[in-house]
Structure 1
Amino acid sequence: MPIVPPAAMAAPLLLATEGFGIDLDILNGNLVNLAILIPVLFWFLKGFLGGILSRRREAILQDLHGAESRLSEATAQLEKAKAELAAARETARTILKDGQARADAIRAEGEQRTIAEMARLQEEAKADTDSEARRISNELLSSTADQAIALALQDLPGALSHQKQTKLLVATIHSLG
């Protein structure tokens, strides 16, 4: 079977339909078809695709502006959070220093109270010892005086005469008052 070029096969079709048709002759028909098709497509797609692309461009720009504003808000919040963190750390350091100073003060106060209490107990013990020593000394003096008076009373009636006893009584009364 012989090979027939495509233009030869299409020629009978063109002759059979006398009106608008597709010319398959590459050199003659395609240039005219392209010259018509490209401006029509350009005009049609310019409005259709241009509108779609314009709306898409606006949507992308809005998304970008939204993302930029969210980024700036997030950056501002991050800076605020960093500042608050720094302030919280400084407050924690201050509280720690104050707590340590208060603990030192409480410890020193407790030591001072302990020392004062020990001194007070020592003073009380010394006062009790001194009081007990005075009491014992007074008892000894009283006991010695009682014994001396008892001995003197035993010896006195025989040692003093009636005149001397009277003189002694008068001198004692004068000395009293």
Structure 2
Amino acid sequence: MKNVTDSFVSLGHWPSAGSFGFNTDILATNPINLSVVLGVLIFFGKGVLSDLLDNRKQRILSTIRNSEELRKGSIERLEKAKARLRKVKIEADEFRVNGYSEIEREKLNLINSTYQNLERLENYKNETIQFEQQRAINQVRQRVFQQALQGALGTLNSCLNNELHLRTIGANIRMFGAMKEITD
């Protein structure tokens, strides 16, 4: 390593007239070298750097435009979804109200139908009871009449002799004759 350092130091002592060498004076060479390097970079790199910046700018603008379009599309879809949600809520409320009113209507119809059925059954029951009472009364009347008739026939047969029998027939014939004359 000492040899490399010595060679740089020895290069620093070469005479500068017509020959090439390194200037080891840092204060004298750095600003010049930096200005040369910056000048070369600015001269040659200006186009490349501006192209890179323009490309980057175009990509950023394109991304922003795409983002804006996506945002607008998202906002439109959101508004459509909100409108659809409002419509569905309104329909759900209508179904709920209609459903409740339909249930109430069906309930009232069922109550009315049941009441009418009970009323018909009550009327049928009452008619059946009246019919059975009337039939029982008729049967009792018929039996009483038959018994009374049998009793009367028995009394008549036991009390009636031929003379009484003939007088009764004669009285009945006269009565029918008198009735016939009145009607004529």
TM range (shorter): 0.7 to 0.9
Distance 1:67 1:107, change over 3 A: same
Q: Per-residue displacement from partner, 1:123-161 (whole Å, max 9, x unpaired)?
A: 011000110111011112212222232233232644542
**Residue in structure 2 matched with residue 74 of structure 1 by the alignment:** 74
Task: Measure, in 2, the Cα distance between the counterparts of 1:173 and 1:145.
Answer: 29
**Partner residue of 2:40?**
40
**Stretch moving more, 163-172 or 72-81:** 163-172
Which ranges of structure 2 fall in alignment gaps of 5 or more residues?
A: 1-8
Q: Give the alignment partner of residue 163 of structure 1, picking from 170, 174, 180.
A: 170
Q: In structure 2, the residue corresponding to 1:12 is in which secondary structure?
A: coil
Give the fraction of aligned pairs with identical amino acids, expressed as a percent.
23
Following superposition of structure 1 onto structure 2, how do residues 19-168 of structure 1 map, counting pairs within 5 Å? 23=23, 33=33, 36-154=36-154, 155=156, 157-158=160-161, 160=165, 161=167, 162-164=169-171, 166-167=173-174
Seen in structure 2, the aligned counterparts of structure 1 residues 34 and 167 have a Cα distance that, compared at 3 Å, is: same
State how far apart, in whole Å, the 1-side matches of 2:36 and 2:15 are.
19
State the shift of 1:9 in Å. 6.2
* Matched ranges for 1:6-17 at <5 A: 11-13=12-14, 15=16
**Contact 1:14–1:23, Cα closer than 8 Å, also in 2:** no
C-alpha displacement at 1:16, in angstroms? 7.8
Residues 126, 31 of structure 1: alpha-carbon distance in 2 compared, 3 angstrom cutoff = closer
| TM-score in terms of structure 1 length | 0.77
TM-score by length of 2: 0.74
Supply the distance in 1 between the matched residues of 2:11 and 2:180 (Cα, whole angstroms). Answer: 179
* 8 Å contact from structure 1 (residues 23, 29) kept in 2: yes
* Alpha-carbon RMSD: 3.5
Range with bigger deviation, 66-75 or 152-161 = 152-161
- Looking at structure 1, the residues matched to 15 and 82 of structure 2 have their Cα atoms a distance apart, in angstroms, of 81
Aligned residues: 173
Alignment-mate amino acid for residue 44 of structure 2: F
Opposite residue 163 of structure 1, the aligned amino acid is G
Confirm or deny: 8 A CA contact 1:24 1:30 kept in the other structure. no
Q: Distance in 2 between matches of 1:106 and 1:27?
A: 106
